[in-house]
């Protein structure tokens, strides 16, 4: 087998040194063809998913569509469609090949999308407008959707640019996005810029020009060790006085910025077009980036209908969003029906201990280590709860509460995109970036995203199709009813 091994080794070298995603994808396909993974893809049976259920569902949809029966298609889809039907989204299925999955699973997903196209385009003498609207509303709600969560990470946060650059170039950006601390800057850029505008804004040159001097030493004895003026001026130039509602009306993206209270007895807040439509994005991002001790906490601002700028949540100041809500998945689930997450994680407190692999442990030792980790986390939270009650000093109590919040958080999602180990360097966290360091971080973000693009496309294809058609139907309804304020419909199907 020397020839076979040499060919695989050559392909693996191409994978390691690919200059763009197309080159990487072609190498993955070649590797799967040579390694035998393609044979695995072609065989329906597999213990990791219910292939009989999926095969039968495909057959039923094909028969209904061949009969031109939109009503039957709606019934088939509405009766049991969800993102992990028959365990088709199991992480174990990804490990058998470098790209793609079982052909039957891909056929099922494509058949569902074709069925949705058919229903939307059905003659309204057979499936009337309000039947379509009801179907897409109910099915989209039941199916759920994906979100993209961008963690904190200070100087490492420019890694997110590479992640979202890869997703944006392939029209795979979810419409629900959250950002904390450094991640809030990139999330706000996604919320205020269209697809084409992002192509320029996510370049290394643009990022460097805006953030080359974000760290300016202020000195001891001040509210923060660093002067926030350079960062504030950059955020103003990027986002001006745009509110969350105005951003949503422009891009159709539901962008959330998380902030943490600078005092006790307050919970973290998620600022977005639903919870705080009139809040100004610039101040929200500035607050989310206010790492304690490094930057001073921030008073939020809002815009009145008359255009006046006024305090938002007066008498309260807010700080670094990653302290208490680095990845606010549960609250995004309540607000937007999210049930699947894509995480770009650069938080220096979490990344060294994380793996992008979410496959459940297969060995007794693996299960034991996971269980012991959960026990250690629970015991640590208990210890900090006791300590917080025993301490009387307000400042110490607040510090203990923040540390507890950091420990208590979940730092991973369904799909995790992490920096390479050599970029998990604490020295970059608080350093002013160079053009070269930003280029490296963006390139690292792109390369870390490439192995996940096929999975993301597969996992979001149905939900984004549902949302696209639902938004189109609601826009049409608003026009018929004469409503002036129309919801933006992102070009998700490009």
φ and ψ at residue 306, rounded to 5 degrees: -85, -5
320 carries an active-site annotation? yes
CB 156 within 8 A of CB 348: yes
Retrieve residue 78's tokens. Answer: 């509405």
Cα distance between residue 468 and residue 413, in whole Å: 24
Strand partners, 255: 177
Bridge partners of residue 311, in order along the sequence: 301
Q: Report which of 272, 260, 266 is spatially closest to residue 318, judged by C-alpha positions.
A: 260
Which phi and psi angles does 227 have, rounded to 5°? -75, 130
Q: Helix, strand, coil shares of the chain as percentages rounded to 5?
A: 55, 10, 35
Radius of gyration of the chain (CA): 24
Rounding to the nearest 10 degrees, give the CA dihedral for residues 442, 351, 171, 358.
140
Catalytic residue of the set 122, 184, 228, 320: 320
> Which residue shows structure tokens 């951003």?
247
Assess contact for 338 and 147: CB atoms under 8 A: yes
| C-alpha to C-alpha distance for 280 and 301, rounded to whole angstroms | 6
The catalytically annotated residue of 146, 181, 322, 444 is 181
**Taking Cα atoms as reference points, which of 109, 105, 107, 83 lies closest to residue 94?**
105
**C-alpha to C-alpha distance for 430 and 409, rounded to whole angstroms:** 23
In whole angstroms, give the CA distance from residue 347 to residue 215. Answer: 18
Q: Cα angle vertex 418, ends 412, 419, to 5°?
A: 150
Helix runs in 18-128, H state only: 21-35, 37-42, 51-66, 70-78, 103-121
Residue 134 CB contacts under 8 Å (≥ 6 apart), including other chains: none
344 is catalytic: no
Query: CA angle 83-325-338, nearest 5°?
Result: 20
Nearest partner of 146 among 289, 340, 16, 301, judged by Cα: 340
Return the SS3 of 122.
Answer: coil
Burial class of 362 by CB neighbour count within 10 A (0 to 12, 13 to 18, 19+): exposed
**Residues noted as catalytic:** 181, 320
């Amino acid at each position: 087998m020397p020839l076979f091994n040499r060919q695989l080794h050559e392909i693996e070298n191409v994978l390691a040194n690919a200059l763009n995603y197309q080159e990487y994808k072609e190498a993955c396909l070649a590797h799967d063809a040579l390694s035998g993974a393609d044979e695995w893809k072609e065989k329906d049976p597999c213990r990791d998913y219910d292939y009989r259920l999926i095969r039968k569902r495909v057959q039923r949809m094909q028969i209904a569509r061949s009969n031109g029966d939109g009503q039957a298609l709606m019934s088939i889809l509405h009766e049991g469609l969800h993102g992990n039907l028959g365990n088709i989204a199991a992480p174990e299925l990804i490990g058998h090949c470098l790209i793609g999955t079982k052909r039957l699973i891909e056929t099922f997903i494509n058949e569902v999308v074709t069925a949705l196209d058919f229903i939307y385009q059905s003659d309204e003498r057979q499936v009337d407008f309000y039947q379509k609207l009801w179907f897409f509303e109910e099915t989209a709600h039941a199916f759920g959707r994906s979100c993209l969560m961008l963690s904190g990470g200070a100087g490492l946060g420019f890694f997110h640019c590479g992640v979202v650059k890869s997703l944006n170039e392939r029209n795979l950006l979810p419409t629900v996005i959250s950002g904390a601390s450094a991640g809030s800057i990139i999330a706000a850029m996604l919320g205020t810029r269209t697809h084409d505008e992002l192509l320029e804004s996510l370049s290394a040159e643009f990022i460097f020009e805006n953030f080359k001097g974000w760290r300016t030493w202020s000195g001891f004895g001040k509210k923060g060790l660093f002067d926030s003026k350079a960062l504030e001026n950059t955020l103003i130039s990027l986002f001006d006085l745009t509110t969350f509602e105005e951003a949503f009306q422009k891009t159709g993206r539901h962008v959330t910025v998380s902030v943490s209270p600078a005092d006790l007895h307050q919970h973290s807040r998620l600022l977005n077009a639903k919870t705080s439509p009139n809040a100004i994005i610039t101040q929200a991002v500035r607050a989310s980036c206010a790492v304690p001790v490094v930057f001073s906490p921030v008073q939020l601002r809002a815009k009145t209908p008359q255009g006046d700028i006024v305090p938002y949540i007066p008498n309260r100041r807010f700080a670094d969003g990653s302290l208490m809500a680095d990845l606010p998945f549960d609250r995004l689930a309540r607000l937007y029906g999210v049930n699947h997450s894509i995480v770009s994680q650069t938080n220096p407190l979490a990344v060294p201990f994380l793996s992008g692999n979410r496959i459940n442990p297969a060995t007794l030792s693996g299960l034991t280590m996971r269980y012991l980790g959960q026990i250690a986390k629970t015991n640590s939270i208990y210890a900090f709860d006791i300590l917080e009650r025993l301490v009387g000093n307000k400042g110490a109590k607040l510090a203990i509460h923040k540390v507890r919040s950091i420990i208590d958080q979940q730092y991973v999602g369904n799909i995790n995109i992490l920096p390479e180990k050599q970029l998990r360097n604490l020295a970059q966290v608080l350093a002013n970036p160079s053009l070269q360091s930003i280029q490296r971080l963006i390139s690292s973000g792109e390369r870390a995203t490439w192995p996940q693009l096929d999975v993301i496309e597969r996992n979001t294809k149905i939900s984004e199709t549902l949302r696209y058609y639902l938004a189109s139907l609601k826009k049409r309804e608003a026009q018929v009813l004469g409503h002036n304020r129309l919801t933006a419909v992102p070009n998700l199907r490009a």
